Amino acid sequence: MPDTEKIQRLLELLDELYPWDAKSFLHYETPWQLLFATILSAQCTDDRVNQVTATLFKKYPSLEAFAAADLQELEKDVHATGFFHMKALHIKQSAGILLSAHGGEMPSDLNALLKLPGVGRKTANLILGHIFQTPSVVVDTHVKRVSYRLGLTRNKDPEKVEYDLMKVLPESHWIRFN
């Protein structure tokens, strides 16, 4: 593992190059919109997701609308993001679970988030960090690769990388590191 001084220099450089404004690159107004945009972002660019959600969130303005959506129509609506069968199914199912099990509110617990269809640790941590300001490490392909190259981890499994980064980074940089 790298020494504390090296990590501090790295974080200062990253802070200088990438000022933190706590914004997500995905466009959203509600917690569930960020959740659905993040589900759509798998294997898709943020720009494409933002194009799709611009019309999607107008067509389906509520969790109730997503839960009641015709699955085949929803698939057509999200087709441009790829893997549209599963993404549409996960969004529809998650909307139903948020309504039935959480009273239409986004759960603030990692384990509850992980029970939502299509939600893995990356998505759950992103929700925790951006919606609830809970210190969380979001490990995507880029974070995994760069962290390995910088010597911040010797692991390649995203969950192990997440735990390694939690050990070496100050909490103030956990959500920022992504």
Confidence of residue 14 (pLDDT cuts 50, 70, 90): confident
64-76 in b/e form (b: 16+ CB < 10 A) is: eebbebeeeebbe
Confidence of residue 20 (pLDDT cuts 50, 70, 90): confident
Indicate if the pLDDT at residue 23 is higher than 70.
Answer: no
Active site residues per annotation: 122, 140
| Residue pLDDT, tens place only, 97-123 | 999 999 999 999 999 999 999 999 999
